[in-house]
Structure formats: C-alpha cells, structure tokens
Structure 1
Amino acid sequence: MEFNDVIHGHTSIREYEDREVSQEMLDQILEAGIRASSSGNMQSYSIIVTRDKELKKKLYTPHMEQSMVVDAPVLLTFCADFNRMRKWLELNDAPVHFDNFMSFMIGAIDATLAAQNVALAAENAGLGICYMGSTLANCDQIGERLNLPPNVVPVVGYSLGYPAEAPALRDRLPMSGLVHYEQYQDYSEEDIQAIYKERNEKGWQRYMSVPRLKEMIEELGLKNLAQVYTIAKYTKESHLEFSQTVLNYLEKQNFMKNDADSN
C-alpha cells in the first residue's frame, strides 16, 4: 500500500477473521515498532504479545468486556518499562534510579511511539487494529494478569488480526482547529462552533443510528454530542476513578519516588 493510503485509510477494526497471524508477519511489524524514536535511545518499553486463548479470556473483564479481546488472534500490550534498564545499571555499577513520575512519562511516550509504528506496519500489511483505552484505565488488573514486575506499567494496547469488517472512515476535526503556528492561539466561541460543526452533526447521527445507543441517549435525555461524551461516555466520576487507579499503580510499580536517595 502507498503510505498515504495507510495513514488516511485507518479505521478501528473490532471484528476479525478466524485466521492466525504468522510469526513471520508478527516479527516484521514488531521490528517496525523497535525502529521508533526513543528518548535517549533507551527504548524504555516492552511489548507483550498475547495469543493464548485462556489468557485473553482473563484480560476480557479488565478490558471492559470488549469482544475483540477474545475474538482477535493477537493482543499487543505496550508497557513503559524501566525494569530492564535498572537491572542493566545495577550490573554496571551505575546509579539506579528512573523510579519517578518523569521516568514513567518517558517510558509511556516511548511505548506509544513504538505502538503507532507497529500499528502502521500492521495496516500496511493488510492487518487491522483497534486501540483500547482500557489498557491504561485498568492498568493494575492488566498488569497483574500479565505478570508485570516493578517499574513496568501497561500504557497502550490493541487487538490485531485480519479484518472481517470494513467500517466507514470516521470524521476528524479540521486541521485548522488543531494546528497552531508559532504560538498557541486560543479559540473564540465562533472558532469552536466552526471546528466542531461537522463532528456535532456526524457524531450525533452515528450514535442515533445504533438502536442501543439511541435508546440510551433518549433514556438519559441527552440533547447533543457534547452531553453524550460527558454524561454517557466519559463521566467525571469515571475519569477520577481511573486517575486514582493509575496513580495507585504507579506507586505500587515504583514510579513515584521523589526523594534524593531513591533506589
């Protein structure tokens, strides 16, 4: 495929053919991930490949019971990982730190860059993926099931396989609403109305075209897409709960040291 076709043709695939992804294919796309940019070339991430059906069943609940978790032939979980780096430092008589929030952020960015490289390589090879925000939201449960040691936290994950559906392209906000030149230019009310005009219309139509979603919207008395996002999909309460989950897990996984003698 042409690179621009891969970029502009992306859709989230939730239904997959009953067909395995060969190890050769998997190695090829994972190698693309390893070539991603990395802070200091530390490659402070690990990639966990899950094929085992029983393990995928155990991941089904923490991944919020999304069907592709068990239906896709492969799950990929990209983790911020300073466990490996810290062991290397210790073996070489170097200070052993990287156990703070900044270190987690470096690992999380590295993991995300690798994840997107793998996703592009996979789509270029005719595979489909669907990112799952549940990877970070329920990082503690997923980390437990994946047997993650200290200084390793799941950040990004997605299903992977051969598509059994061809969903329509989803709209994106216009470039004029996302790109700022030289400095950030804050938005007027008129700017916001223009930027979200198409999203308001197409997003609302999409939700109302699905019977179960339409029923939910009507039961909640929602009047627009903004209300759908904040009252039905991403509530303040759920985000506060997930935030605390992540912070607690970062503490447990040794990423929240702030003293001078951390080790």
Structure 2
Amino acid sequence: MINQLKERRTIRQYLDKEIDDSLLNELLETAFRAPTTGNMQVYSVVVTRQQENKERLAPAHFNQPTVTQAPVVLTFCADFNRFVKWCELNHAQPGYDNFQSFVTAAIDALLVAQQFCTAAELSGLGCCYLGTTTYNAPQIAEALHLPRLVIPITTLTVGYPAHTPAQVDRLPIEAIVHHESYRDYSPEDIQRLYAYKESLPENQQFIAENHKETLAQVFTDIRYTRENNELFSKIYLDFIVKQGFKLPE
C-alpha cells in the first residue's frame, strides 16, 4: 500500500467506463470515516454523473476537458446548513455563521476529499483535483443549487485511467520537514532545495515557452499572478459572506 501511495499520479483522461453505484457508495462511505471536528461532519458531496450537468459545471472550471470526460465529478462542500437546521429543530441556538466555522467545515471537506481520493486510487480509479473550485464558487453554487452556509471547497474528477502519465517532481523531504521547531531557509538552502525542480527538461521548456528567465517567474508572472490571486480572493470572500458566513471585522 505504501508503494502504491508513493506512486500515485493525477489522472485527467479516463476510459469510457462507468463507475458502479455500489463501488462509488463504498468509496464515499470510506471517505466519511475521515476525521471530523466534534463528529459534526459539516461537509456535503455533490455527485455529478449526467452529461448535461457536467457541461453546466465545465465553464466554472475553465472548460477543462476532464470535467466533461470523467464519468463522475464530485464537488466537496463545507456545509453548516444541515447541522444548523438540526440544532434549531432541537431547541439549540447555533453560532456557526462565522469565519471559524467556515474554516472548520472547509478542513472537514478537504479531509473527506483526500480520503476518498486515496480509497479510489487504491481501488484502481484515477482522480484529478480541480483548484478552480474556489476561483468560481458562485457559478458552481448556482449550478448545484447550494443553499445558505454551503460553500464549494474542492472538486475531484474520477474514472478509470485511460493512460499512466509520468509522475511529477516533489521537493526533497528536508525541504518540508522541520524537527522540533521551524528552521528558516537561507538563500543557499533555497537554491539547493529547488535545484532539481529547476533542472528538469519540462520545466526548462516552461521557461523557454513563456520567455522567462527563471521557473519562479513562470509561477509569478504567468501561472498564479498577483492580479488573479487578488481577483479570485475577492470573489471567494464575497461569496462566503453571501452564503451566510460573517468575516471578522
């Protein structure tokens, strides 16, 4: 199992083969055994199988082909709607329309998503996380009819792999693990820890194709710009408030 986990890959292309309801439900039930704050399970998962509904979601995910080609699309949501209604029906006064509660539910949703992803991959399926979920949350919420106190957090496309792509690089363990306390990085540390990533032919190609001097510039100037980060930050924060969560003043 450890070797399988270490060999995992993101799969964006799938065979034209449906996932049985029994398998999907088993994987979801396995995911729901993930840790959850206070055993509240403040998350929900929207399963999208119908092609017309996948096509409705696709623009919010920048029309990535994996959305419409995957047999199943799963949208994992932070969800205090259900828990609040349970409290109110049982003469309890919920105080969960705040940023702390949103973060709690978002963490729960991500834990469930990753446990599903792991179980699915161990069962022979492939998955792809879509980071676009937080970029265009309002459109996703409209397509899925999400009510108050429900926020989309992440999306997985799921299916049987049509190919086995090469594994992408990872930083060495020493770049990430800090023993006992955080040890900050010197310039020499940074150069050493990122040297392998920067040397890879595919990353050298990114630099050349984008007419940049360094791989870091590809990230800051092309892939994840300040302008886009600030734009999508405002969209997401405004949507969180619209859905009923109050941000700290």
Query: Quick one: which amino acid aligns to residue 242 of structure 2?
Result: K
Which of 215, 230, 236 is the aligned partner of 1:240?
230
Map residues 80-159 of structure 1 onto 2, 5 A cutoff: 80-159=78-157
Unaligned runs of 5+ in 1: none
3-state secondary structure, aligned to 2:46: strand
RMSD of aligned alpha carbons: 1.4
* In structure 2, C-alpha distance between the alignment counterparts of 1:159 and 1:71, rounded to whole Å: 9
* In structure 1, C-alpha distance between the alignment counterparts of 2:46 and 2:31, rounded to whole Å: 12
State the match for 1:71 in structure 2. 69
Which of 193, 203, 206 is the aligned partner of 2:202?
206
Aligned residues of 1:6 and 1:120 also touching (Cα < 8 A): no
Aligned residues of 1:37 and 1:113 also touching (Cα < 8 A): yes
Query: Quick one: which amino acid aligns to residue 86 of structure 2?
Result: W
| TM, length-normalised to structure 2 | 0.96
3-state secondary structure, aligned to 2:124: coil
Map residues 1-263 of structure 1 onto 2, 5 A cutoff: 3-202=1-200, 205-207=201-203, 216-217=209-210, 221-256=211-246
CA offsets per residue over residues 165-211 of structure 1, 9 Å max, x none? 10011110111010111111110001111111111112xx21455xx
* In structure 2, C-alpha distance between the alignment counterparts of 1:53 and 1:207, rounded to whole Å: 35
CA offsets per residue over residues 46-97 of structure 1, 9 Å max, x none? 0111001001001111101110000000001110000000000000111122
Query: Quick one: which amino acid aligns to residue 226 of structure 2?
Result: K
* In structure 2, C-alpha distance between the alignment counterparts of 1:135 and 1:74, rounded to whole Å: 16
Aligned residues of 1:99 and 1:257 also touching (Cα < 8 A): no
* In structure 2, C-alpha distance between the alignment counterparts of 1:184 and 1:229, rounded to whole Å: 25
Aligned residues of 1:59 and 1:142 also touching (Cα < 8 A): yes
Aligned residues of 1:86 and 1:98 also touching (Cα < 8 A): yes
* In structure 2, C-alpha distance between the alignment counterparts of 1:100 and 1:14, rounded to whole Å: 36
* In structure 1, C-alpha distance between the alignment counterparts of 2:209 and 2:152, rounded to whole Å: 31
3-state secondary structure, aligned to 2:127: strand
Aligned residues of 2:198 and 2:204 also touching (Cα < 8 A): no
Aligned residues of 2:207 and 2:215 also touching (Cα < 8 A): no
Unaligned runs of 5+ in 2: none
Counting aligned pairs with the same residue, the percent is 44
**Structure 1 runs (4+) greater than 4 angstroms displaced:** 213-216
